[in-house]
Structure 1
Amino acid sequence: MSKNRLHKQGSGFGHWSFTVILIIVLLWWFIGFATRDCRKNTDCQRDSYCDYRYTCQKIPVIDGGNAKDILKQNSFFYLLIGGIIGGALTYYVMRKEVESKGKEKSAEHKEVVQK
């Protein structure tokens, strides 16, 4: 018996299974590519656009009443106020920690000097 197993002939199941899986993946990709409604916005009608699922969607029109609802839902102002308050609190807490560490170091320094 030979100790060299590199030249041993296998059943070939690994090669066939890889080939079958590769063919299935390529067919799946090709069918998905071929069944797209659109590939770019110009493939759709004038009042439509091509979305991320490659289907043509109507462009939404914002009228006067709808625009007011959208503006009411805008929460940028509240996020800005929350960010400012959070930043101020973080600054205050960090400043207190730095001051307390400074006082501890100065107390240690005074003890060393007195000895």
Structure 2
Amino acid sequence: MMSKNRLHKQGSGFGHWSFTLILIIVLLWWFIGFATRDCRKNTDCQRDSYCDYRYTCQKIPVIDSSNTKDLLKQNSFFYLLIGGVIGGALTYYVMRKEVEGKGKEKSTENNEVMQK
């Protein structure tokens, strides 16, 4: 026979109710985000727009001769790559010289020990 006060016991399911509440909040958050999207695919936007990763319609940028210089300024990956290659080469050269210098010191120490 079941007790009438089984819900009033300590630990009577608070974890269950809190989990259910959190699950409902997460589902509502997801549903509101899904319902407020401007677009879901490119055909939902106008002809000269596309649907971006935030699900909003964005105008397709047109590249002409007036803004190519701005694009080159923004895309400075080439200069970063050249700097990295030069820095790597200098680091290799300096480290190689240090290793060769230590090798020569050890060989002279070994020669001195053998001569004694």
CA spacing shift, 1:59–1:87, aligned 2, 3 Å: same
CA spacing shift, 1:92–1:3, aligned 2, 3 Å: farther
Partner of 1:20: 21
Superposed structure 1 runs of 4+ greater than 3 Å apart: 1-9
Deviations 1:32-83 (A, max 9, x none): 1122111222222221111111111111112221123323444244323322
TM-score of the two chains, using structure 1 as the length reference: 0.79
The offset of 1:112, in angstroms, is: 2.7
3-state SS, counterpart of residue 89 of structure 1: helix
Equivalent pair of 2:6/2:12 in contact (CA under 8 Å): no
More divergent stretch after superposition (1-10 vs 78-87): 1-10
TM-score of the two chains, using structure 2 as the length reference: 0.79
The offset of 1:11, in angstroms, is: 2.6
CA RMSD, Structure 1 to Structure 2 (Å): 4.5
3-state SS, counterpart of residue 97 of structure 1: helix
3-state SS, counterpart of residue 86 of structure 2: helix
Q: How many residues align?
A: 115
Q: In structure 2, list runs of 5 or more residues that go unmatched.
A: none
Q: Distance in 1 between matches of 2:91 and 2:7?
A: 64
The offset of 1:96, in angstroms, is: 1.3
Q: Distance in 2 between matches of 1:42 and 1:64?
A: 29
Identity of aligned residues (%): 90
Q: In structure 1, list runs of 5 or more residues that go unmatched.
A: none
